[in-house]
A and B are shown apart, each in its own frame.
Chain A
Amino acid sequence: MAAFADILKQFFYAPDEDIGELFKLPAQAGQMTVFQPEESAAEYLAFVLEQESYAVPIAQIREIVRAVPLTEIPRSPKNLLGVIKIRGEILPVYDVKVKLKLRERAPIVVGLEGEAEELPGSARILIVRDLEGDIGILVDRVLEVIRLRPSEIEPLAPGIGGGDYLLGLGHLGKDLFIVLDVHKALS
């Protein structure tokens, strides 16, 4: 039914916010990759949380959307900020700052006048692939795609903190990127 599919696509397709040529997803973005040291450089998406720079393997990122208004879920876990709708799909959006000890409490991003916190204009939601259903992570600013070789990632020394969600420190020139395991940062 090729004609039918075309008609549907022509009618319904409406791309989300165009955030420009921020990056190109790699050819087989189908698999979820667990962080595995390899000899060649891997691509990561770099973003900012509270002035710190973080990096997540790009294969885990499905897309990036603007921080549109969220719908709050009553009595949900504190790190669940709310849900958004993307092309008909309802996705939960989480805060990771509390787990990463960047804040005491998760921001209230939805509510009555005065209740909600204003998000920076650069705020974005990263849509991350997950077996239980894709999820969103709220970040302050998205930087760019960087390449890091395993030799450029320094394992964390005890005392720097981390738990199992921090996978190492990436060095690129003078910049420092904290490599994050997104799924662990959600629990």
Chain B
Amino acid sequence: MTSSPKGLSDFVAEATEILDALNRDLSILDQRRGEPLDPGLVNGIFRSSHSLKGLAAMFGEQRIAQLAHHTEDLLDRLRLGRLDLTDPVVDALLESFDAFQVVLRETERQEHSPDATQRAQAVCRKLAQFSETAAAPPRDDALDRLDLDASVRGVLTEYEEHRLLENLREGLAIWKVRAVFDLANFDQGLGRLNSKLKSMGEILSTLPSADPGDGTGIAFDIIFGSRTAAEKLKSALAGISASLHPLLLSPEREAAAPGGAATLAVAPLPSRARPGSSVSPPRPAVESRLATRKDPPAEAESSERLLTQTVRVDIGRLDSLMDAVGELLLIKANVARLADQASQSGKPAFGKLWGRELHRESRLLERKLDDLQKGILEVRMVPLGQVFDKLARTVRRIARESGKEVDFVMHGGEVEVDKLIVEALSDPLMHLVRNAVDHGVEGPEERRLLGKKPRGQVSVRATQRGNQVVIEVSDDGRGLDEDRIREVAVRTGIVAAEHAAELSERELQNLIFLPGFSTASRVSEVSGRGVGLDVVKTNVSRLSGLIDTQSERNQGASFTITLPETLAIVRALVVSVSGRVYAVPLNAVSEITSIAESDVKTVEKREVIGLRGKTIPLARLARVFQLPEKARMRHFMLVVGLAHRRLGIAVDELLGQQDVVVKPLGGRLRHTVGVAGATDLGDRKPVLVLDPGAIIEEVVNPERRPELV
């Protein structure tokens, strides 16, 4: 069916929900590698794949349907015990999940790239390989030998027959449970019966039939497969009006049927080694048969956006929005009435009373708009846990690949942040976590020599501080090598030799965010920590956030990102320079003072100013933005930045403070440097919001001045 845009978004929404559930289950599975298989978990993942397949088929989404089909097959083998949950298997499942994401995102954008198709197919092939390596017993006629009514067989779907066959092959006993309920409320009773049965085996099919007895009830025959002994089943069903009947399997001609009671069927197939007995070191034989994973480079994976463009919203939040709008309508009506009054001729309209009423409505309006605004922003909030799960998987994967033993600890996954921020954080956090494992945490041998526990730890912790969110990524590894940092800084001229000795530890450590530390040679010199950190910092500052690092030699390092909770609302300082008005996010400003022209000095041709004993660089916003300047005796200075990386920005006037909603500049405007977005302060004309981080970068590192068109 060619679907409408609404149909497509319904599909994407439902597929996303299923993938979310898949994600959660896969994370748990990943975490519990080496532990005995939890059938409930595998079943859950299996059901998700199954639903996804049906859904994709309905909407003609071949790629997703195919992926789902292969994933389903693999999970089938797992839950039947035909395949062990080894590392390659878990990895393949994780890959299939990633491939689902990629294809679903394309579908949402109505794109269909050959890259994504190939990737999906490659994953299908990989999943299919597990079907080959597992020993599949030859198809036999077990179903025909089962004591099953022809009428029952006639209503089993192919899929259900397959399930039944698999159960028989694995040596489970098949039962028929018959229960009779009242037509009025059969679902309660049936629900209870189902839960009981599900905990003891697999429900294969449910057949309703009219109760032969008195006609006011409804009977159900449940075909059920289980390893549980008959007595245990019977006692579990005591109290429910259900009767248990075994379905017998006649012996095959050659097979040896066990003697004795007819409650169990054919001898089970030779038992396979239970998962859990083969742990960490991957089996070389299997490894060599499977193709080495050369595909999607790390960056591609980490750059994948977590989620599609939909957000699941709490109905309560929407209800409060409705309420707020309703109240706004009332206020609007009142204002209209007041306006009517004023426009009536012959009446003393602008009396004091009228003025007071108008004031009151104005205050109410402000409050209600505030509520509405907050309400709308809340709708966009999603928990950070979504990103954290993905980080966990990356940590485990990299740790395995590099032979290190690393525990990943997460805290504060429930902290909620604007959806756009969560998406934008995915890359930087991935980077930090990857660095921590690759370069921070030492291998187990080295750790032992240092007297540390052989298992390293990488942790991510999110906390809420007022209307800011703080995310800390830390590890207990080598820490940063300050001597090397100092050396590199001096050598590349970032810091003059004399000043280098004066820099505090903290200031020194934070130098690694500079672009100068990101080149490959530098990276190895400062033990790999520099990789891409300037990019991380740029990403963070684009979110109006700040990043900081702290480290102790041989004890570990931590990176702290501080963000406003919502990208959209920012408390801003409104300033003017050369007649233009700008808004500066207040969370980036540490001080505001007044300075005189005469206070401005120069050092090596760059303007600086003294601030309580320290000298910091000064940037005149008019000059940075190439605006016409008028000579002034005094300026206002906003101090932005942290520690040694501070900058004073000189502006002409301070116009006030305001909460503003920032809209990022998109489309053709997205490359604007120094500007984070635009907002409006009441009158129609939009006001630009500054990006202090970018301005600091630009002024402090002149070689990074943006290319001007």
Direct A–B touching, Cβ under 8 Å:
yes
Binding site for B on A (CB under 8 A): 1, 4, 7-8, 10-11, 68-78, 80, 83-85, 88, 90, 92, 110-113, 115, 130, 132-135
| Complex CA distance for A133 and B625, rounded to whole angstroms | 25
Contact A11 B685 (CB under 8 A): no
Contact B325 A90 (CB under 8 A): no
Contact A75 B667 (CB under 8 A): no
Contact B328 A11 (CB under 8 A): yes
Contact A85 B328 (CB under 8 A): no
A-B contact count (CB 8 A): 97
Contact A112 B669 (CB under 8 A): no
Nearest to A90 among chain B residues (CB) is: B678
Contact A71 B673 (CB under 8 A): no
Contact B669 A68 (CB under 8 A): no
Chain B 301-330 near chain A by CB (<8 Å), digits 1 or 0: 000000000000000001001100110110
Contact A83 B329 (CB under 8 A): no
Min C-beta distance of A111 to chain B, whole Å: 6
Which of B332, B665, B669, B688 counts the most chain A CB atoms within 10 A? B669
A71-B686, A83-B669 are contacts. A10–B678 as well, Cβ < 8 Å?
Answer: no
Contact of B684 among A77, A85, A92 (CB under 8 A): A85
19 contacts between A and B (CB under 8 A): A4-B318, A7-B326, A69-B684, A70-B685, A72-B580, A73-B675, A73-B688, A75-B708, A78-B709, A85-B685, A90-B665, A111-B579, A112-B578, A112-B579, A113-B579, A133-B667, A133-B668, A135-B667, A135-B668
- The 9 tightest CB contacts between A and B, nearest first, are A133-B667, A74-B625, A112-B579, A77-B709, A85-B686, A132-B667, A90-B678, A71-B686, A69-B685
A73-B669, A74-B675, A112-B578 are contacts. A84–B686 as well, Cβ < 8 Å?
Answer: yes
Contact B688 A132 (CB under 8 A): no
Contact A7 B666 (CB under 8 A): no
Nearest to A7 among chain B residues (CB) is: B325
Min C-beta distance of B19 to chain A, whole Å: 25
Nearest to A76 among chain B residues (CB) is: B672
Given contacts A76-B669, A111-B578, 5 further A-B contacts (CB under 8 A): A7-B326, A11-B328, A75-B708, A84-B686, A90-B666
Residues of chain B lying within 8 A (CB to CB) of residue A130: 667
Contact B665 A132 (CB under 8 A): no
| Complex CA distance for A11 and B680, rounded to whole angstroms | 19
Min C-beta distance of A107 to chain B, whole Å: 16
Residues of chain A lying within 8 A (CB to CB) of residue B540: none
Min C-beta distance of B664 to chain A, whole Å: 9
Contact B708 A11 (CB under 8 A): no
Contact B325 A75 (CB under 8 A): no
A73-B675, A112-B628 are contacts. A90–B709 as well, Cβ < 8 Å?
Answer: no
Residues of chain A lying within 8 A (CB to CB) of residue B318: 1, 4
- Interface flag for B610 (CB, 8 Å): no
| Complex CA distance for A138 and B665, rounded to whole angstroms | 20
Nearest to B624 among chain A residues (CB) is: A74
Chain B 672-709 near chain A by CB (<8 Å), digits 1 or 0: 11110110100011111000000000000000001011
| Complex CA distance for A134 and B666, rounded to whole angstroms | 10
Which of B668, B673, B688, B708 counts the most chain A CB atoms within 10 A? B668
Residues of chain B lying within 8 A (CB to CB) of residue A77: 709
| Complex CA distance for A7 and B324, rounded to whole angstroms | 11
Min C-beta distance of A100 to chain B, whole Å: 19
Contact B709 A71 (CB under 8 A): no
Residues of chain B lying within 8 A (CB to CB) of residue A70: 685
Nearest to A84 among chain B residues (CB) is: B686
Contact A83 B686 (CB under 8 A): yes
Contact of B669 among A75, A92, A111, A113 (CB under 8 A): A92
A74-B674, A85-B685 are contacts. A11–B579 as well, Cβ < 8 Å?
Answer: no
Chain B 626-669 near chain A by CB (<8 Å), digits 1 or 0: 11101000000000000000000000000000000001011111
Contact B678 A8 (CB under 8 A): no
Contact B706 A90 (CB under 8 A): no
Min C-beta distance of A80 to chain B, whole Å: 8
Min C-beta distance of B365 to chain A, whole Å: 12
Min C-beta distance of A4 to chain B, whole Å: 6
Contact A68 B685 (CB under 8 A): yes
Contact B669 A74 (CB under 8 A): no
Residues of chain A lying within 8 A (CB to CB) of residue B578: 111-112
| Complex CA distance for A134 and B626, rounded to whole angstroms | 27
Residues of chain A lying within 8 A (CB to CB) of residue B684: 68-69, 85
Residues of chain A lying within 8 A (CB to CB) of residue B669: 73, 76, 83, 90, 92, 133
Residues of chain B lying within 8 A (CB to CB) of residue A134: 667
Nearest to B622 among chain A residues (CB) is: A74
Nearest to B577 among chain A residues (CB) is: A74
| Complex CA distance for A113 and B663, rounded to whole angstroms | 28
Contact B672 A132 (CB under 8 A): no
Which of B321, B626, B678, B687 counts the most chain A CB atoms within 10 A? B678
Contact B626 A75 (CB under 8 A): yes
Contact B678 A7 (CB under 8 A): no
Min C-beta distance of B663 to chain A, whole Å: 6
Contact of B322 among A7, A76, A83, A110 (CB under 8 A): A7
Residues of chain A lying within 8 A (CB to CB) of residue B688: 71, 73-74
| Complex CA distance for A85 and B321, rounded to whole angstroms | 25
Residues of chain A lying within 8 A (CB to CB) of residue B579: 111-113, 115
A90-B665, A112-B578 are contacts. A11–B332 as well, Cβ < 8 Å?
Answer: yes
| Complex CA distance for A77 and B628, rounded to whole angstroms | 17
Nearest to B708 among chain A residues (CB) is: A75
Nearest to A78 among chain B residues (CB) is: B709
* B593-637, CB < 8 A from A: 624-628, 630
Residues of chain B lying within 8 A (CB to CB) of residue A11: 325, 328-329, 332
| Complex CA distance for A117 and B624, rounded to whole angstroms | 23
Min C-beta distance of B10 to chain A, whole Å: 15
Min C-beta distance of A53 to chain B, whole Å: 27
| Complex CA distance for A111 and B322, rounded to whole angstroms | 42
